[in-house]
Amino acid sequence: MNQFNRSRNEKINNPKCNFKRKKKSTTTIENLSNEFFGKVFGYLDGCDIYLAFANLNHRFQQMLNSPLVLFKINLDNWLSKEILIDIYQQMITFNKHQIFSIHSSTSLSMNRFCSSLSFDSSFNRLESLVLCESQSDIFISLLNTLSSLPCLYSLTLKMFKSSTNLADVYGITLKLPMLKYHNVLTNPSDLIVTLPVNTDQQRFSSITHLVIENHCSFNDVLRIISYTPQLYRLDYTNTNSIDRNIEINLPIKLSNLKYLFVRVYGTKFDIVEMFLSKISMKLKVLSFTTRHEDITYLDANRWKEIISKYFLQLEKFYLKYYASRGNGSQIQLYRGTANQFALSFWIKRQWIFEVQRDLEFIIYSVQPYKERWDELILDQSDALCSGLSKLTFTNMHANEWRNIINIDIKRILSLTQIYHLIISVENIFVGVLIPILNSLPKLHSLKLHSLSFGDPPGMDPKEYKIIFSIRPTSKIVKTYLEKMNQRQDIFFLRVLCPDMIYLKVDWIEGERNMVPFALVHFE
């Protein structure tokens, strides 16, 4: 053994017997390829790139001047005013032809650079601009220089001062020869655009995606889009709508328009229908959102007639109607025939009616079908309940259970029966579930986040006797409890839903951790 150790030590100490150590490879920033830096620069602000690399060495100086490197300039950059202005001046002097985009989202940054912002044809790679409104005459002068830009495809104007005439703005931007995307954003206002309707087939814009936010009436929109025959998508938002009538009589032909997204408040359904009838289009997707007390927005037959008459190629339909919860004296019940959104016209197209109740609103919606959790569990009753209306509570207090039943659910049932209920409120008091479920006699499935057996704050103790004297009458077959806090949760659900066949639990709260749980089938 000693001889072996001695021989081993001799080999270790003998340089000839030592293994050759591999040299550690070190990589410096200069070993990285130009292609690598080109890809990285695509994610960085141009001013930051310039500050970091412009004076580093000759190689990077040459790289920054390469036409393969394009700069995205953010005028809201964190750099100090003096440094940012100095870098910007250098870039428009030496690298003007490499600037890909310039974005200014605040009046402060816009005012800093207004004097030096002027565009000409030497900005031959500039494709995207985001400009914030400054002094009116200066802003209009700046917009007038945009026509010299040969590659300007995207233009966003943030006009929060509302000091510039919008007709002048659109009069300039609708003439830009290469523009494809145009977004004009203002504060909610009653600003109007006094453009004439375009009847000259030779005068048209190349815009394919137009976004109009917080200004313009429906009449103004019709005037503007009369200049955009190539329009593919229109997004129109006005939460301060002033429409009382549609004055435009000429139809607006937009044969390329496939996507229409409209969000308006304060406008009656009659005006919306007139607006839609004025545009000749082959829509694939229609999305409409409103907040108004005109309950005829929930007339399924009226929407069916509009779609059947004007939108025969429609593939997806989204409707969202916000109704203020208010108090009982302000509530409008739907007086038409109930369950119209469950008829074959809607089911055939897989456009499903749903209701959501939050702190302020009851939100009625129609949207393309999405698979529900209960449809993953097949039984003989699925054919009857698949695709039928769902109600979701995102906010609920135990002491308001009477208003939920007598006001909210009463309003909802005047329009549709509810077959699927989701209560996403954490630790909902078990007592309020009994009367709420009893008030929805057609329920087939129930999904809960978690249960609480503790006394809810602010609830009159006398209410307990009333609640727990009510006999559960629910016919619910499938129940989903996302989080089980204690074993008695399951016992309570068996009492609450005596016809329950399936129970799904995501997590069982343990003393140390949370354990995933499987589906339970009750015979």
What is the rounded distance in angstroms from the CA atom of residue 93 to the CA atom of residue 117?
Answer: 12
What is the rounded distance in angstroms from the CA atom of residue 162 to the CA atom of residue 41?
Answer: 36
pLDDT tens-digit series, residues 405-422: 999 999 999 999 999 999
What is the rounded distance in angstroms from the CA atom of residue 351 to the CA atom of residue 506?
Answer: 29
Residue 249 amino acid letter: N
pLDDT(512) > 60: no
Terminal-to-terminal C-alpha distance of the chain: 74
pLDDT (mean) for 81-107: 87
Q: Which phi and psi (to 5°) does residue 57 adopt?
A: -165, 180
What is the rounded distance in angstroms from the CA atom of residue 405 to the CA atom of residue 125?
Answer: 62
pLDDT tens-digit series, residues 312-361: 999 999 999 999 887 544 677 888 889 999 999 999 999 999 999 998 99
Cα 216 versus chain centre, distance = 22
Indicate the SS3 state at residue 358: coil
The residue ranges of every structural domain in the chain are 327-523
Helix axes 136-144, 166-173, angle to 10 degrees: 10
pLDDT computed for residue 414 by the predictor? 94
Q: Are 443 and 418 in contact (CB under 8 A)?
A: yes
Tokens 């996507």 appear where?
Answer: 259
pLDDT tens-digit series, residues 164-221: 889 899 999 999 999 999 999 988 776 677 888 888 766 789 999 999 998 888 999 9
Indicate the SS3 state at residue 483: strand
Nearest in space to 391 (alpha carbons), one of 352, 434, 430: 352
pLDDT (mean) for 62-88: 85
What is the rounded distance in angstroms from the CA atom of residue 332 to the CA atom of residue 361?
Answer: 13
Contact partners, residue 76, CB within 8 Å, separation at least 6: 103, 104, 105, 106, 109
pLDDT computed for residue 519 by the predictor? 63
What is the rounded distance in angstroms from the CA atom of residue 398 to the CA atom of residue 402?
Answer: 9
Report the half-sphere exposure of 264 (CA within 13 A, side-chain side).
Answer: 26
Indicate the SS3 state at residue 439: coil
What does the DSSP 8-state code read for residue 69? -
pLDDT-based confidence at 56, cuts 50/70/90?
confident
Nearest in space to 74 (alpha carbons), one of 36, 100, 37: 100
